[in-house]
Structure 1
Amino acid sequence: MEESNQTFIEFANEWLKINKDSKDVKPGTIRVRVHEIGKWLPYLSRLKLKNITRKRYQDALIDLKDQGYSDSTMSGINRTGRMIFRKALEMELIKKDPTEFAYLKKDKKTIEQLKEEEIPKYLEKEELALFLETAMDYGLEHDYLMFLILSYTGIRVGELVSLKWKDVDFVNHTISITKTYYNPNNNTLEYLLVTPKTKKSRRKIIVDEEIINALKEHKEVQDQIIKQLGDGYYNKDFIFAKMERQHGYPIVIKTVQNRMARLLSLAELNTNLTPHSLRHTHTSLLAEAGVALEQIMDRLGHSDDQITKDVYLHVTQEMKKEASHKFGQLMRSLR
């Protein structure tokens, strides 16, 4: 068997095309893979596949980790690298798989790193796009709208399930948060609507047009059901109302948790995440977009919250590290 002279970038593009043509691979997954391949390009791009040694692959992993990427991000980068080289091995383009004995570097735990481990897990933007696409394609009743609102607003899950149509201003594109849902026994009929835990939690959030349009579509479907069921529908104006059995009652929080676990599994994302993780995801993406901490706290309904501050600080520090790394790469390329 004669090894191929293909470069890493050439074969990576070929591998992506194979994946794109597969009916089993969702477009969102492809976007994540493209993002992860991008992390490999500074190290392997122009090298021939056959010349990429285990040491070179491992050194690249170590350098990427030293840039401060999280364990979950590194796991994704390594997984994509392994899939590419295993496909090359399967196609007999190379004789040895350079990823075979690769390991992901674990730093010694400093006080700062232990503190970082306390930062809640959240989805990176590519992962969020994949999650929402999975909800759109494979979600059950309410799923896409629920998770779109949670991730685009950062509201709490109790605030979500207690939302009523009167809370939505379709003209000014706002949602008012005035209450939360209390139901410790998860009994659909025994819910309570209570005031938010702090004054700051009562707030009006400006939302994206995509949410407004999705709400309009949902309302049309719901109105048809109310019309069909008449008095058989418990009509208390809930947006996320049950459409089967106990029609009209708000869905329980446990349902949202179960639905999220199902979609995370389908999307092959971290199944330890919860609906509250989408609140941290919203925080991280606002920080990445350059929104000030005070504005984020106001949007989330926080007067003071250390976890939100920790997530914000973590993301902005990562951005600074990346800026420094890019500058270093630029200068090295001039030598």
Structure 2
Amino acid sequence: MRGTVKKRGTWSYIVDIGKDPITGKRRQKTKSGFPRQKDAEAALRKLINELAEDRFVEPSKDSFSSYMEFWFTSHYQKRIKETTASSRKYLMDKHLIRENPFANKPLSKITTEDIDAFYNLKLDEEYSTSTIRKLHQLLNQAFGQAVKWKKISFNPVINADPPSVKKEEMKIWSFDEIDSFLNQCKGERHYLTFLIAIYTGMRKGELLGLKWSDIDFEKKVIRIQRSLSHIPNKGYQLSTLKTKKSKRQVPIQDFLIKALKALKERQETQRKRLGEHYQDQNLVICTEIGTFQDPRNVLRVMKRISEAANVTPIRFHDIRHTHASVLISEGVDIVKVQTRLGHSKPSITLEHYAHMMPNQDDEVADIFHNALQKSR
């Protein structure tokens, strides 16, 4: 690799620094202002050595916002689920571009101090620590890729200090509250929606994406294979599950099998009554014409029934927590609970529910003591 030194008033050098890793176009580096020829030659040799050792970085002149948009569309969104991409795009547009003090600052000029100040700003604006951690992850991935593309020499997010996620206190129903809610719910269109949720611990999207072909009435299992998700500008669509472990089989009881068969018969009657106006999508939980059930309607019904039943107001996801807490309090092995809930690994289940596990310290002490007694 060779460069050229020339005199144009002062001395300068020009050298080919290779192709742009993104566009593939040839790039050159020029620097002038050297008072002597040997100064320009020394600077050129240093640059050539950096190029030979792959240490040279040409600081990007792109603004942060323009880089983020390019990175997101050309790289990031192609590697994640469509539903995840839509939520991350919203976070990026709102927080990292429209409401960001360094949005128009050159990418190469952004410092760790800028990043920390941004996190503090979001805390002052009372955004949740969970949201800020998601923004931190986006920034870290974006700047990390900028380093790989040699747009910057260092990722400033590495040394940044995002806030720890503050976990909301888990709310669950007691046995009496479960009974009160279900009794109040009887006769409602969504009675079976809540019954399945309480007895299986399925996520809301998994439940609303459930098809009749997923239910094996003979083996008495529900096969969870997809989820209903909302995609901006596209509406509700069926999507793949969060993780491989989310795809699972959940055994169910005879009474639930009987209730499901009764629902299937009612849907068949409705389909025949409406004829061509019924849009059959083979969904277990659907509207009266067979289409996707809007999750917001389910939440409105849940709120109304909860108030009428005078039970603790909880989120739909807390029904899942209630299911898990009952299993754990009854001594069900944590791995079996993990499998039923579809967590990717037991440690996640433990992280959520360890405080609910029965205290067996006394039993452990006895086991240790008895073991030593036997050895003597």
TM-score range, shorter chain: 0.5 to 0.7
Q: Assess if the C-alpha contact under 8 Å between 2:220 and 2:254 holds in 1.
A: yes
1:177: which partner in 2?
Answer: 224
Q: Assess if the C-alpha contact under 8 Å between 1:167 and 1:175 holds in 2.
A: yes
1:154 pairs with 201, 207, 210, which one? 201
1:77-156 to structure 2, matched below 5 A, reads 118-136=168-186, 140-141=188-189, 143-156=190-203
1:278 aligns with 2:319: yes
Secondary structure of 1:146's aligned partner: helix
1:232: which partner in 2?
Answer: 277
2:248: which partner in 1?
Answer: 203
| Distance apart, 1:183 and its partner CA | 1.5
Runs of 4+ in structure 1 off by over 6 angstroms are none
2:291 pairs with 229, 232, 249, which one? 249
Using a 3 Å threshold, how does the CA distance of structure 1 residues 242 and 297 change in structure 2: closer, same or farther? same
Q: Assess if the C-alpha contact under 8 Å between 2:211 and 2:284 holds in 1.
A: yes
**Structure 1: distance between partners of 2:333 and 2:346:** 15
**Structure 1: distance between partners of 2:356 and 2:329:** 7
1:190: which partner in 2?
Answer: 235
1:29: which partner in 2?
Answer: none
**Structure 2: distance between partners of 1:184 and 1:265:** 31
Using a 3 Å threshold, how does the CA distance of structure 1 residues 116 and 311 change in structure 2: closer, same or farther? farther
2:355: which partner in 1?
Answer: 314
1:269-308 to structure 2, matched below 5 A, reads 269-271=311-313, 273-304=314-345, 308=349
1:44-93 CA deviation, whole Å, 9 max, x = no partner?
xxxxxxxxxxxxxxxxxxxxxxxxxxxxxxxxxxxxxxxxxxxxxxxxxx
**Structure 1: distance between partners of 2:344 and 2:167:** 24
Give, as a single letter, the amino acid of the residue that structure 2 aligns with 1:213.
K
Q: Assess if the C-alpha contact under 8 Å between 2:229 and 2:239 holds in 1.
A: yes
Using a 3 Å threshold, how does the CA distance of structure 1 residues 302 and 212 change in structure 2: closer, same or farther? same
TM-score by length of 1: 0.55
**Structure 1: distance between partners of 2:235 and 2:279:** 13
Give, as a single letter, the amino acid of the residue that structure 1 aligns with 2:281.
K
Q: Determine what percentage of the aligned residue pairs are the same residue.
A: 35
Using a 3 Å threshold, how does the CA distance of structure 1 residues 184 and 255 change in structure 2: closer, same or farther? farther
| Distance apart, 1:306 and its partner CA | 6.1
Secondary structure of 1:182's aligned partner: strand
2:310: which partner in 1?
Answer: 268
1:130-180 CA deviation, whole Å, 9 max, x = no partner?
1111111xx531x21011100110010000011111011111111110000
RMSD of aligned C-alpha atoms? 2.6
Using a 3 Å threshold, how does the CA distance of structure 1 residues 236 and 118 change in structure 2: closer, same or farther? closer
Larger RCO: 1 or 2 (CA < 8 Å, sep 6+): 1
Give, as a single letter, the amino acid of the residue that structure 1 aligns with 2:227.
T
Matched pairs, number: 199
**Structure 2: distance between partners of 1:194 and 1:164:** 13
Give, as a single letter, the amino acid of the residue that structure 1 aligns with 2:177.
E
Give, as a single letter, the amino acid of the residue that structure 2 aligns with 1:295.
K
1:4-55 CA deviation, whole Å, 9 max, x = no partner?
xxxxxxxxxxxxxxxxxxxxxxxxxxxxxxxxxxxxxxxxxxxxxxxxxxxx
**Structure 2: distance between partners of 1:155 and 1:172:** 18
**Structure 2: distance between partners of 1:311 and 1:124:** 18
**Greater helix share, structure number:** 1
**Structure 2: distance between partners of 1:314 and 1:118:** 14
Q: Which segments of 5 or more consecutive residues in structure 2 lack a partner in the other structure?
A: 1-164, 364-376
Using a 3 Å threshold, how does the CA distance of structure 1 residues 260 and 305 change in structure 2: closer, same or farther? farther
Select the structure of larger CA radius of gyration: 2
**Structure 1: distance between partners of 2:292 and 2:220:** 23
**Structure 1: distance between partners of 2:330 and 2:356:** 10
Secondary structure of 2:357's aligned partner: helix
2:262: which partner in 1?
Answer: 217
Q: Which segments of 5 or more consecutive residues in structure 1 lack a partner in the other structure?
A: 1-114, 324-335
2:16: which partner in 1?
Answer: none
